[in-house]
Structure 1
Amino acid sequence: MPEQLLLLGNLVIMVAYAAIMVAIVVPVSRAGQLRSNKLAVATAMIFFSCAVGHGLHALTIYRSIVDHGGAHLGHAMSEAWPPAVWDLFTAAVGIYYWTLRRGYGVLLGRGAIYVSPGEQRRIDEADARERAARDVAESHLVTLTAVVEHTDAAIIGIGLDGIVTAWNTGAEQMFGWTAAEMIGQSIGLLTDESGSVQQDVVQRRVHAGEQHLAYEARRLRKDGSPIELSISLAAIRDASGAVTGTSVVARDISAAKEAADRQRALEERTHQQQRMESLGKLAGGIAHDFNNILAIIVNYTEFAAEAAEGNEPVRADLEHVRTAADRAMNLTRQLLTFTRGDTIQPQDVDLRDAITEVRAMLDRTIGEDIALFARPPAEPLIVHGDPGQLQQVLLNLAINARDAMPDGGTLVIEAGPAELDGQEINMQPAVAAGSYARLQVSDTGEGMSAEVATHIFEPFYTTKPRGKGTGLGLATVYGIVAEAGGSINMFSEPGVGTTFRIYLPLATESAGPSTTGTRLMAPPKGHGQRVLVVEDEAPLARVVHRILTGNGYRVLAAATGAEGYQIFLARGCDALLTDVIMPEMSGPRLAELVHAQQPGLPVVYMSGYSNGLLGSARVLDPDIPFLEKPFTSNDLLHKLAEALSRAPSDLPRTGAPR
């Protein structure tokens, strides 16, 4: 019986080991790890070899029983007890392993090992922490992805080869390209040639190790339109720290740059206006001194012409002198117009008539090689201004255009209504929002550079050859337009042409023509009235004395205000004719002292400065009798007679009797 038990034990152990082997191999095989999970396969092979060994052992016992029967059974049993003990030991190991399988598991991972339940708990806890950290990271990634996708900034990923690898919604909205269209394409699609060179340089700097780069650049949208950007770049690195690409964050700064350009233009316009005002004061001062000289020249020329009656050669020479003086007077008049102080005759003017009249003048002078087109507005377009000055504006611009087209071209003069919002940045001077009449003079001439354009309204600035221009034409245009409450702007491109646009306020109600101006009728003579003449320029004082005494007036002369006041106190007068700007005591101060003694005494002021300029400086009230140098004898006599006619009939006399 013992041999049968030994045979049965080996068979049972063989089956148990084979079952263990199957229990190991089946899950490993289902997991597809027969090749990778070497530890599990080795364990299965051990149990397989043990199962085979016990099977061979059972076969040996079985053959011994069959071959020998019971004859030598005792001897065989005495020799088989060591293997039997080993069989019992291996059976116990198998039983122990089988019982442990309920508490121990086979990790079906690469290089799986058998772990204890405690170790498994620690592994599970580590796995839980890893999963929690991974969940947090995934949550952060989701948040970051949402931020990247929905920000207004363009966020772009670029590989080392310049190929786009990431393209957010902000980039789609900014550039017009969808992510599907741009990913896989070269970033060079967003640049022109110069921008591409700049972009390559910046990319190389990032790849060379620079941490962050920021700059401003112009890029192109899908439709080809430019966009101004503020760009920040940073390197993208892998776990080893090697640069694998570039991240780009771009923000649209077009509006900010436009606002900055507008502010800069406003500042430049303010500086230009201040410079023009300073130049205007300088021009006014020059005109004042020049007018004093011209007044002497003009009037002594008239005296000489009267004395040369019958001597034609002398009179002809004097005519040339007077012609030159007239040209000089016109020059100073332009200076005074530039200073916004020239005497004007404002009235309602229809720009249709102004354009028609200028067209008739230009037809005779513009030249056959220039095509002239005049396009008056279809409806009446009324402004309030001096008709002569409006014509002067159009003629100056037209003549400049003619000179800019030596080989011929096209000149267009047109007018029409316009609306301004008050935010225009290229208007000189600035004007408020409202409805305006727009005069436009365009030519196809040589044009001018931006540097020249910044100086064109400055007096004495000219690009014409010496002797061909005074540099006052456009300065005069500027002064006339500014005086009328309007504004002017200019666009020019070298080789293309130039366009001037003049904006004048529309007339709201008829103001009628001015009553001031040059008088054509013969002036009335005096009747012995005493006129106190106060003039610090001795030659001009002699001219005034000669004119007045030759026309029925008696003259009391003084060189200073203080001297004039003493003469008034001592001898009295019927009218005061005084210069405005004098050393020690000004003309208005002298008049103030005189009126304190004799209220209502007629006072006529004279000055080389214009009435408008003196009025704007608050030297004189704008409605007082004023004679602007240089003046003719007719001007002086008319103004004095007008002042005397307004004097009260019962005016008291001061000073010694006549």
Structure 2
Amino acid sequence: MLDISRDAVIEIDTSSCVIGWNRAAETIFLINAEYALGKNLADLIIPSGDRAAHHEGMKRFLESDSSEIVNQISDLKAIRGDGSLFPVELTVRYIEHPEGNRFVGLVRDLTERKQIEARLLEIAKLESIGLLTGGLAHDFNNLLCVIIGNLELLGQQPLVGESKENVQSAMDAAVRASQVTLSLMAIARREPMDLAVYDMNLLLVGLKHLVHSTIGSLAEIRWQLSPESIMVEVDSGSFSSALLNLVLNARDAMRDCPKKIITISTGILEVKTQQRGNLPPGRYARLEVADTGKGMNSATRGRALEPFYTTKERGHGTGLGLPMVYGFARQLKGCLELETTENSGTLVSIYLPYTEKSAESIKAAQRGMFAPVLGAGVVLVVDDEVLLCKLACRLFESLGYRAIPAASAVEATGVLEKQSVDLIFSDISLPGGINGIELAEQVVELYPQIPVILSTGYSEELVERNASQWIVVQKPYLKKDIVEVLFKVSLAL
């Protein structure tokens, strides 16, 4: 009966000599029963640093019936036959037996459970970092939007000499800062995405020239793409950035290595249990980037996905690359897995949901979507950030519109009930329980003749509610961005 158990069942006598060793013990400890029987348990599976405590504990129990282990459930470390250390759960009972009293231990291998717990803890930590990062980036992005917009308006004034140069320098710095906030939003999984269906292999084929020109002669690139189509719904620009970040990380990890090979491969994975990156069961596209570089030790691996953490020299890395890729995968309901060993290279795997949709079906659906009619004259600007609302009004007024400000969806609805409006320009994040997307849905239903443009620094709702349905301008925006988005509306006529 003991051989039916999935847990190791081990019996020892009062001198710690093994007298029972079932089949599960052979499997878990990589030690066969013939070898184990008759050996001292401490020398067999107990780490050297714990052996003295084991003997002292047995002696104390036999003399005083007192023990911290017997009749308890304990989490401990044990040694396999190959010398590797692993976590176990131990339950011990003392049995009085006619043929000699003995201890019976039930040992459960906790390796897989501990790995899952560590993974869940890492996900929770990164989610917390993402929330903090995203919130800060959103607020900073709003400020940048005001700064950049006003600098642009100032730059249209008749400035000369040093004044003009100062305005341009300030604009350049603000635009660079906006790129940092975009990276932070990608980490927080709040970067706006223009999703479409692609064959992942064809996307990679299209990126081959860019990858090779970026890496040059610094490393050999090997492509191992699956022969079958792998359909995914992604933002092509974000996908390209994710791949380049992984390739550049791989290149940097191999700088001082004699063998420099980057392997890019694809495939399809069927997930049947929720044990891989916390993914729900289903079919997933797999993208892998492997290198022959230095790898990471356990301490570095534990922090590799944290924003701004880097082992590169100052000025050679921001620590945002890998966290951005992680955020990209999570935003698309996928995951990122990192396998690495010091001096043995690194393998980064991205898993994205496989879709049965085709590129043609997506385009057909987009053609059938509601297309608002572009009006002229009055624009309703909805934003609870006073400075941003004023800026947007000034930008539209510079384009010939009469702008009406509103601080919430409720206030905007009141304006619509009282007067005619030709265009609505609304932020997605609004107070009062109705966000910009919900406002747009109400407008489509009640005022189908009014086109709606949404603005955002980030929004997970764009992913949840099909971003392709709405025309969106990303913060921080310039006057030219407003013109471009108005042109998109006109094309929908």
* Shorter-normalised TM range: 0.7 to 0.9
**CA gap 1:514/1:639 in 2 versus in 1, 3 angstroms:** farther
Whether 1:292 and 2:292 are equivalent positions in the alignment is no
Q: Which has the higher strand share?
A: 2
**1:345 corresponds to:** 194
More deviation in 201-210 or 386-395? 201-210
Matched, 1:634 2:488: no
Residue aligning to 2:269 = 419
Amino acid at match of 2:134: G
Q: 1:504 to 1:229 in 2, by over 3 A?
A: closer
Shift in alpha-carbon separation, 1:469–1:514, aligned structure 2, 3 A: farther
2:238 aligned with 1:389, yes or no?
yes
Matches within 5 A, 1:295-314: 295-307=145-157
Q: Structure 2, unaligned stretches of length 5 or more? A: 364-373
* 1:577 aligned onto 2:397: no
Does the Cα contact within 8 Å between 2:245 and 2:325 map onto a contact in 1? yes
CA contact (8 A) 1:366 1:402 kept: yes
Offset, 1:392: 1.2
Matched, 1:623 2:477: no
- Contact 1:217 / 1:231 at 8 angstroms: preserved in 2? no
Displacement of 1:528 in angstroms is 5.1
CA drift of 1:340 comes to 3.0
Residue-by-residue CA offset, 1:144-172 (whole Å, 9 max, x unaligned) = xxx9999984445576xx8x6x8457489
The whole-number CA distance in structure 1 between the counterparts of 2:213 and 2:2 is 71
How much does 1:571 deviate?
Answer: 5.0
1:192 CA drift (Å): 7.1
Q: Does the 8 A contact of 2:428 with 2:437 survive in 1?
A: no
Paired letter, 1:296: V
Superposed displacement of residue 477, structure 1 = 0.9
- Provide the secondary structure at the position in 2 that maps to 1:287: helix
Measure how far apart 1:544 and its partner are. Answer: 2.9
Q: Is the 8 A contact 1:292 1:540 kept in 2?
A: yes
Cα displacement string for residues 418-444 of structure 1 (whole angstroms, at most 9, x for unaligned residues): 4343436451xx223344332222334
Query: Are residues 1:218 and 2:78 paired?
Result: yes
* Aligned AA (1:327): R
The answer to whether the 8 Å contact 2:9/2:25 transfers is: no
Cα deviation digits, residues 487-512 of structure 1 (max 9, x gap):
21112333443321112233423134
State percent identity of aligned pairs: 25
User: 2:430 touches 2:436 (CA, 8 Å); kept in 1?
Assistant: no
Deviation at 1:248, TM superposition (A): 4.5
Given the alignment of the two structures, is residue 205 of structure 1 paired with residue 59 of structure 2, yes or no? yes
Aligned-pair distance for 1:532? 2.7
Moved more, 531-540 or 593-602: 593-602
Pick closer, same or farther for the CA change 1:388–1:376 going to 2, 3 Å.
farther
Total equivalences in the alignment: 468
Q: Look up the SS of the partner of 1:334 in the other structure.
A: helix
Does the CA contact (< 8 Å) of 1:343 and 1:610 recur in 2? yes
Supply the distance in 2 between the matched residues of 1:487 and 1:536 (Cα, whole angstroms).
Answer: 34
In 2, distance between residues paired with 1:507 and 1:148? 47
Tell me if structure 2 keeps the 8 A contact 1:611–1:626: no
Alignment check: 8 A CA contact 1:532 1:558 kept: yes
State the distance in 2 between where 1:436 and 1:546 align.
47
* 2:284 counterpart of 1:436: yes
> How high is the TM-score relative to the length of structure 2?
0.73
Which amino acid in the other structure matches residue 637 of structure 1?
Answer: V
Q: Deviations over 1:90-122 (max 9, x none)?
A: xxxxxxxxxxxxxxxxxxxxxxxxxxxxxxxxx
Greater RCO (CA < 8 Å, at least 6 residues apart): 2
Contact 2:3 2:24 in 1 (8 A): no
**Deviation for aligned residue 1:198:** 4.3
Matched to 1:635, the amino acid is: D
Seen in structure 2, the aligned counterparts of structure 1 residues 253 and 401 have a Cα distance that, compared at 3 Å, is same
SS state at 2:273 partner: coil
Normalised to the residue count of structure 1, the TM-score between the two structures is: 0.57
Change (3 A) 1:398 1:320: farther
Equivalent-residue separation in structure 1 for 2:176 and 2:349 (angstroms): 29
CA change 1:588–1:481 in 2 (3 A) is closer
1-side partners of 2:359 and 2:4: how far apart? Answer: 62
The within-5 A match list for 1:137-536 is 153-157=9-13, 167=19, 170=22, 174=26, 175-178=31-34, 182=37, 190-191=44-45, 194=48, 197-198=51-52, 201-202=55-56, 205=59, 209-211=63-65, 214=70, 218=78, 220=80, 230=90, 232=92, 247-254=102-109, 257-258=110-111, 261-262=112-113, 264-307=114-157, 319-356=168-205, 358-366=207-215, 370-384=218-232, 385-408=234-257, 410-423=260-273, 425=275, 427=277, 430-464=278-312, 468-512=316-360, 529-536=377-384
- Cα deviation digits, residues 59-86 of structure 1 (max 9, x gap): xxxxxxxxxxxxxxxxxxxxxxxxxxxx
Conserved in 1, the CA contact under 8 Å of 2:264 and 2:288?
yes
In 2: Cα distance, 1:553 partner to 1:295 partner: 20
Larger radius of gyration: 1
C-alpha distance in 2 between matches for 1:549 and 1:245: 96
What are structure 1's unaligned runs of at least 5 residues?
A: 1-146, 239-243, 516-525, 648-658
- The structure that is helix-richer by fraction is 1
**C-alpha separation between the residues in 1 aligned to 2:223 and 2:438?**
54
Change (3 A) 1:246 1:359: farther
Give 3-state SS (helix, strand or coil) of 1:436's partner: strand
Which range is displaced more, 476-485 or 224-233?
224-233
Q: Deviations over 1:449-484 (max 9, x none)?
A: 444434433444445566654443222212211233
The 5-angstrom pairing of residues 92-171 of structure 1 reads: 153-157=9-13, 167=19, 170=22
Q: CA deviation at 1:281?
A: 3.7
C-alpha change, 1:348 and 1:541, in structure 2 (3 Å) is closer
> Does structure 2 conserve the Cα–Cα contact (< 8 Å) formed by 1:381 and 1:437?
no
Q: Describe the shift of the 1:308–1:355 C-alpha distance in structure 2 as closer, same or farther (beyond 3 A).
A: farther
Say if 1:220 and 1:332 are closer, same or farther in 2 by CA, change over 3 A.
closer
Please identify, of 582-591 and 316-325, the stretch whose mean Cα deviation from structure 2 is larger.
Answer: 582-591
Q: Write out per-residue CA displacement over residues 37-57 of structure 1, whole angstroms, 9 at most, x where no aligned residue.
A: xxxxxxxxxxxxxxxxxxxxx
The separation in 2 between residues aligned to 1:248 and 1:436, in whole angstroms, is: 48
- SS in structure 2 of the partner of residue 340 of structure 1: coil
How far is the alpha carbon of 1:486 from its aligned partner?
2.0
Question: Does the Cα contact within 8 Å between 2:178 and 2:476 map onto a contact in 1?
Answer: yes
Contact conserved, 2:375 with 2:450, CA < 8 A, in 1? Answer: no
Cα distance in 2 for residues equivalent to 1:563 and 1:231: 65
Offset of residue 644 of structure 1:
6.9
- Whether the 8 Å contact between 1:436 and 1:506 is mirrored in structure 2 is yes
The AA in structure 2 aligned to 1:436 is Y
Structure 2 CA distance for aligned equivalents of residues 394 and 496 of structure 1: 21
Deviation at 1:562, TM superposition (A): 7.0
Which residue identity is paired with 1:293?
L
Taking only aligned residues, the RMSD between alpha carbons, in angstroms, comes to 4.8
Distance 2:190 2:428 in 1: 15
* CA 1:323–1:402: 2 relative to 1, 3 Å: farther
Contact 1:404 1:446 in 2 (8 A): yes
CA distance in 1, matches of 2:430, 2:20: 76
* Per-residue CA distance 1:190-214 (angstroms, 9 max, x = gap): 3477179348735872697355863
Deviation at 1:377, TM superposition (A): 1.6
